[in-house]
Structure 1
Amino acid sequence: MSEVTAVFTSGGALSKSLPGFQPRPAQQKMAAAIESLSKAGDQLVVEAETGTGKTFAYLAPALLRGGKVILSTGTRNLQEQLFHRDLPQLRDALAPQAVAALLKGRSNYLCLNRLEQSIKHPEDADSTVLAQLQEVRDWANRTRSGDLGELASLPEDAPVIPRVTSTIDNCLGRDCPQYEDCYLVKARKEALEADIVVVNHHLFCADLVLKDTGFGELIPAADMVVFDEAHQLPDIASQYFSDTVSTRGLVDLCKDLQFLYKTVVRDAKSLSQIADQLERAARDLRLNFPMDPERGNWRDALNQDERAKASTHLAELISRAQAICKNLVGRDKDLDQCFERLDLIRKRWDLLLNTQVTGYSYWYETSQRHLTVHRTPLSVAEPFGRQLAEQEARWVFTSATLTVDGSFDYFSERLGLGNAKTLILDSPFDFAKQAMLCLPRYLPEPHAPQMADALISIVRDVIAVNPGGTFVLFTSHRMLQKVAQALTDTIDRPLMVQGQSSKRELLSTFVEAGNGVLLGTSSFWEGVDVRGDALTCVIIDKLPFTSPDEPLLQARVEDCRMRGGDPFASIQIPQAVIAMKQGAGRLVRDVTDRGVLIVCDNRIVTKRYGATFLSSLPAMARTRSLAKTLQFLAAADALKGTDVPIMEAVAGDDE
């Protein structure tokens, strides 16, 4: 028995040091597979279903192997959970001498230079920003890490954040007067010296792009890299291999130019004038789009005269601003850097206006105030795969949802993983006894006008009998709002609706209630862990196909057709299946959990592709009888702590 495998036995290090630890064969198998990666370049892809204990399964070999290890998670919340909770438990038991570091993206760290500038020149700050600026200033006097996550009272979208953090474009690097005290530099130094570095996929991909362009690296070289929640990686990588320009970035740059005019180049009035014109042009371009946030095809947008004129006018002003800055180069380091930022924006904007180049999706998205335009490669397999091949590391990709109908092809092809070993680890949960999948009969077609009323009726019926908590997961905000409106003030349960407060606060309230109803869209389909009676029913309104109007999907579909492929089978179904598996995975999170998953989309039964969805879901007991499902939910309290299988707990047949 290997050293790693021995850790997970009944008499091993974990059972001795972690109260309640139970050996799991799947966990041992995954740890052994990671341990077997013998040389640089080896790749392992593991689908470890809920309950297998995949976090400990990759942490143990990471700690025992020695060398440099990077652990990358899907979100900052998971990153902090791994660093502050899971990693310390195993490190204390297996390798107390190992040094770990938490490394976030630069936008998470206070920039002392920009804070000082904002305090000295608050002229254009409103009362909200000024209050937040004072809050940041007080905290800056006592923080050691400079991590803005310590400021829990500061909203994630606080307008002060861009003023007190740096971007890769406006960071002065070694030329910064505060370089020696820079929190980002300190965090990077700790990461360079640590044995284990915990990052997130966004930071890893950002660093990968820097490597690809030959610039400096933020993440240190490693002997092994582990991606947890790896199903998110292809889409995140696509973002970072994109060319992007936002009006927000242009407006921020114009504010920096105005600040420089007022402080260091007061004789350059033309700089202030062009900054004012450029900012106005950026805002005018946004006004050419509807006020409500949307996503759309950038090629189509440029076919409209007013938008095309506004885009061309913006390009002219960017070039003019760059020329004015060029004449001032050498007078101030911040100004020199603004010139470089303008040069990069001009090059990217030229690419975004030249939409005839193939192999990319050209798309835009709007917020209430800003427009962001992207040129996204249809596949990151080549650049991502090339970077992996050039790094002297072993690679592990793991998630509960990587396969479609038992195959890893969809995931592996998107990332260019050529010769990866694969492993599927089934959940230790007995889904046939613990969970029921209900596919109600007689539902309208998903897009029929009557569907909203049918869904509202099912939700109300469930709430009336379910003694525990209920998740209702939606594929669209429109349907969520319809159901929320129908339930508000008409049910006697705590109702939580996405958007009312932060995700963390909603989940905390939901768990505390014990019998609440939570309505959520995409962000609640994954990364949510609610155990016990607080969640006993998950209702999914529709199979989670990406909207056909989504511009990136449109481009991938068109490209697939040109290559003679079937885009529905090779792109749309796999995407939807993985999303469906994530949503279904919210239900059973522990060996004692019991519950019901209700999918309110009859296509899972009536369409041939429905079999792919069903075969990819856990082997729950199945019924088409909503009455039988409600009967089980009503009896859930009485069945608590028993081994009675779900289908034996309800009467009648399923005809």
Structure 2
Amino acid sequence: MTDPDDIGALLGADGPFARELPNFAPRPAQQEMAHAVQHAIAECETLIAEAGTGTGKTYAYLVPAMLSGERVIVSTGTKALQDQLFFRDIPKVRSVLGARLKTALLKGRANYLCLYRLDQTVREGSSMERSQAAQLASIRAWSARTRRGDRMELAEVPEDSPLWVRVTSTPENCLGVECPFYDDCHVVTARREAQEADLVVVNHHLLFADLALKQEGFGEILPGAQAFILDEAHQIPELAGQFFSQSISARQLTELAQDALAECNGVTGAMGLVLEPVEALQEAVRKFRLAIDTLPTRGPFHELLRRDGVSSSLRDLSEVLAALTDALASQAERSRGLMNVHERAAHLSERLDRVAETSSEQDVRWYELFPRGFALHATPLDLAAPLRAMRERTHAAWIHTSATLSVAGQFDHFARQLGLDDPQTLSLESPFDYARQALCYMPDGLPDPAMRDYTDRVIDATLPVLEASNGRAFLLFTSHRALRRAADLLTDRVPWPLFVQGSAPRHQLLEDFRASGHGVLLGAASFWEGVDVAGEALSVVMIDKLPFAAPDDPVLQARLESLEQAGINPFMGWQVPSAVIALKQGAGRLIRDVHDRGVLVLCDPRLTTKGYGKLFLNSLPPMPRTRDIGEVQRFFERPQAGVAAVSS
């Protein structure tokens, strides 16, 4: 094997990657990052590596990871990226390096077929409607031939089918070693493979479930790793908030009720004892949801308790859940299933009391409303301390990488959120020639974004750009209300096909957009990142406003108040840096390849009228800026010509 000390040469012009992989382009930034990752693993260091689009960061961390001889966990933002890493990138790198190591792909348990739950669902299946019965038949046929049991394999049953909830397990309803199907369990098999592997690919949700809460059962599933590599690391602060929260939802309570009844089948006399408290719980959940129906969709807990009748509804809910727990306690010894639902009921009862009654200065208590349900949460104000403790327990290297971690070249905001004290940092510019490939257009004369007609004016300013580019655009919005208004305004005014978020699944919209060649896609939050459309199909990205977090977020409100009390300006110390990183993600959709060309349209006038606007502009790739629509038109008339720099 090539000397691992010379990792730059492996990825260089004369190295095996250049020889063996078609279209591999040696990049100095990739080699520099590979050296930094190699050093961090060897020295057990903490590294923050921002790698601009096109750096080739995946190989920059996979090569040193595979050559390290250590057990490495790679965690990424989504299941789609996990699959891409495991099925595409890792086999290529392993083949080129000739590396003999075991690799494993591990997802959260909801991604794997549960044979026990499938068996239960088949037994209850006679009352199913026709479409669900057909899906169940597909799942049964697939269950006989699948080795991994990964839902991803069965494309004919939609990802959002309600049937998946019934044939997969949760930490609460899993029977563990006493399950009659334990020996064939897909979750157990996947975890065993992960425990034995040298390189494991997980996603951030699973990583935190295991490291932060150990909530998934079976003990720790990622033991003994010497290095954790977090790709798409900009997502970590928000996800960490979810995993260090205590939460209880209507869905958990109704699933408990349904499962309690299902487990009573075949146990003599159990139904007679359990049916009444189950029905009381279902009614208490319904009444509590009704009591909070007119509240905003989320808010602080004290607002909830101010409403007439809410405190008494919450007390009733707590009492009937305790009564169900008692009823199940009397039956728990009669079957493993009944013991499991009793343990769940006791756990949920304790959690409801803690979230509803325990007020602490360290936590923010808040609620969320859904069309048919609710969730109550207690989220830590400061995530730095639990994250730091979690990392220290592992005694491992921690490598955080993404294209968007810095604010005007500084990593302070990201490091502070994660409690990273004195990390190694590395900032690598994209190899793309933004001066030639891109143009930033900032339309003149737009009103303050708070004005009622702002979206109408944004669309008026964007239409000439779309005419110059002949469609081929992403229009990104900071709110769904603005997105819907823009869709209404454009429907009769443009000749190109419109693809509007919400009208079809995300992957379907993207496929149709790519295939259309001249489409205009309107998206909100989920289209700002993780979307890759290389080539001419995407030549314009328009962003309507600076993406400041919603002011109605109760956790954000409490964090900002806490910063203010600590003497830190919450706007400049938190809101601006977070919005800068989000803007960089949205702008990053435009240039995905050395051959791409396009125009970034930034509509928000605060970029030039407010002092903090410079922070945003200085954090974007170095592309020329203009206020002249004529420059945009000339840019599209010169397919391969350079773009002259123009003052803003």
TM-score by length of 2: 0.96
Match of 1:272 in 2: 275
TM-score by length of 1: 0.95
**Greater shift in the superposed pair: 127-136 or 58-67:** 127-136
Q: Look up the SS of the partner of 2:359 in the other structure.
A: coil
Size of the aligned set, in residue pairs, is 645
Match of 2:511 in 1: 508
Q: What is the CA distance between 1:494 and its match in structure 2?
A: 1.4
**Could you tell me which of 101, 106, 110 is aligned with 2:109?**
106
**Could you tell me which of 173, 180, 188 is aligned with 2:183?**
180
Describe the superposition over 1:318-346 as per-residue Cα deviations: whole angstroms up to 9, x where unpaired. Answer: 11111111222211111111111111111
Residue 460 (structure 2) pairs with residue 461 (structure 1) = no
Match of 1:632 in 2: 635
Once residues 295 and 146 of structure 2 are traced to their aligned partners in structure 1, the CA distance between those partners, rounded to angstroms, is 39
Q: What is the CA distance between 1:581 and its match in structure 2?
A: 0.4
Once residues 645 and 122 of structure 1 are traced to their aligned partners in structure 2, the CA distance between those partners, rounded to angstroms, is 64
For residue 439 of structure 2, what is the amino acid of its counterpart? M
**Could you tell me which of 191, 207, 212 is aligned with 1:209?**
212
Distance 1:488 1:266, change over 3 A: farther
Q: What is the CA distance between 1:433 and its match in structure 2?
A: 1.7
Residue 444 (structure 2) pairs with residue 441 (structure 1) = yes
Contact 2:44 2:227 in 1 (8 A): no
Residue 549 (structure 2) pairs with residue 551 (structure 1) = no
Distance 1:287 1:134, change over 3 A: farther
Match of 1:348 in 2: 351
Once residues 216 and 305 of structure 1 are traced to their aligned partners in structure 2, the CA distance between those partners, rounded to angstroms, is 44
Q: What is the CA distance between 1:364 and its match in structure 2?
A: 2.0
Q: What does 1:155-174 correspond to in 2, within 5 Å? A: 155-174=158-177
**Greater shift in the superposed pair: 535-544 or 307-316:** 307-316
Describe the superposition over 1:116-164 as per-residue Cα deviations: whole angstroms up to 9, x where unpaired. Answer: 0111123664444433322211221221111111121222221111111
Contact 1:248 1:370 in 2 (8 A): yes
**Could you tell me which of 629, 643, 646 is aligned with 1:645?**
643
Once residues 258 and 17 of structure 2 are traced to their aligned partners in structure 1, the CA distance between those partners, rounded to angstroms, is 55
Q: What does 1:122-521 correspond to in 2, within 5 Å? A: 122=125, 125-211=128-214, 216-290=219-293, 294-354=297-357, 356-467=359-470, 469-521=472-524
Describe the superposition over 1:492-512 as per-residue Cα deviations: whole angstroms up to 9, x where unpaired. Answer: 111101111111111111111
Q: What does 1:489-638 correspond to in 2, within 5 Å? A: 489-633=492-636, 635=637
Contact 1:191 1:220 in 2 (8 A): no
Q: What is the CA distance between 1:587 and its match in structure 2?
A: 0.7
For residue 505 of structure 1, what is the amino acid of its counterpart? Q
Match of 2:37 in 1: 34
Q: Look up the SS of the partner of 2:440 in the other structure.
A: strand
Contact 2:265 2:271 in 1 (8 A): no
Describe the superposition over 1:35-84 as per-residue Cα deviations: whole angstroms up to 9, x where unpaired. Answer: 11265641111000111110110011011112211110001111111111
Once residues 545 and 176 of structure 1 are traced to their aligned partners in structure 2, the CA distance between those partners, rounded to angstroms, is 48
Contact 1:64 1:95 in 2 (8 A): no
Match of 1:51 in 2: 54
Q: Look up the SS of the partner of 2:125 in the other structure.
A: coil
Q: Look up the SS of the partner of 1:101 in the other structure.
A: strand
For residue 495 of structure 1, what is the amino acid of its counterpart? L
For structure 1, the residue ranges without an aligned partner over 5 or more in a row are 648-652
Describe the superposition over 1:348-379 as per-residue Cα deviations: whole angstroms up to 9, x where unpaired. Answer: 11121125322212222222221112111112
Contact 1:261 1:272 in 2 (8 A): no
Contact 1:293 1:368 in 2 (8 A): no
For residue 519 of structure 2, what is the amino acid of its counterpart? G
For structure 2, the residue ranges without an aligned partner over 5 or more in a row are none
Once residues 368 and 271 of structure 1 are traced to their aligned partners in structure 2, the CA distance between those partners, rounded to angstroms, is 28
Q: Look up the SS of the partner of 1:37 in the other structure.
A: helix
Distance 1:625 1:135, change over 3 A: same
Q: Look up the SS of the partner of 2:427 in the other structure.
A: strand
Describe the superposition over 1:206-259 as per-residue Cα deviations: whole angstroms up to 9, x where unpaired. Answer: 001235999711223312211000000111111111101010111011001111
For residue 264 of structure 2, what is the amino acid of its counterpart? Y
For residue 645 of structure 1, what is the amino acid of its counterpart? V
Distance 1:62 1:239, change over 3 A: same
Q: What is the CA distance between 1:101 and its match in structure 2?
A: 1.1
Contact 1:31 1:58 in 2 (8 A): yes
For residue 116 of structure 1, what is the amino acid of its counterpart? D
Contact 2:41 2:226 in 1 (8 A): no
Q: Look up the SS of the partner of 2:368 in the other structure.
A: strand
Q: Look up the SS of the partner of 2:145 in the other structure.
A: coil
Distance 1:306 1:459, change over 3 A: farther
Describe the superposition over 1:184-222 as per-residue Cα deviations: whole angstroms up to 9, x where unpaired. Answer: 011111112222111000000000123599971122331
Contact 1:474 1:480 in 2 (8 A): yes
Q: Look up the SS of the partner of 2:372 in the other structure.
A: coil
Q: What is the CA distance between 1:13 and its match in structure 2?
A: 1.1
Match of 2:72 in 1: 69
Q: Look up the SS of the partner of 1:533 in the other structure.
A: coil
**Greater shift in the superposed pair: 499-508 or 515-524:** 499-508
Distance 1:287 1:126, change over 3 A: farther
Q: Look up the SS of the partner of 1:199 in the other structure.
A: strand
Distance 1:645 1:496, change over 3 A: same
The root-mean-square deviation of aligned C-alpha atoms, in Å, is 2.0
Once residues 622 and 646 of structure 1 are traced to their aligned partners in structure 2, the CA distance between those partners, rounded to angstroms, is 10
Percent identical residues: 45
**Greater shift in the superposed pair: 194-203 or 489-498:** 489-498
Contact 1:40 1:392 in 2 (8 A): no
Q: Look up the SS of the partner of 1:71 in the other structure.
A: strand
Distance 1:39 1:92, change over 3 A: closer
**Greater shift in the superposed pair: 69-78 or 556-565:** 556-565
Once residues 620 and 300 of structure 1 are traced to their aligned partners in structure 2, the CA distance between those partners, rounded to angstroms, is 47
Once residues 646 and 584 of structure 1 are traced to their aligned partners in structure 2, the CA distance between those partners, rounded to angstroms, is 20
For residue 335 of structure 2, what is the amino acid of its counterpart? D
Q: What is the CA distance between 1:3 and its match in structure 2?
A: 2.7
Q: What is the CA distance between 1:316 and its match in structure 2?
A: 0.8
Q: What is the CA distance between 1:291 and its match in structure 2?
A: 8.0
**Greater shift in the superposed pair: 151-160 or 334-343:** 151-160
Once residues 630 and 363 of structure 1 are traced to their aligned partners in structure 2, the CA distance between those partners, rounded to angstroms, is 49
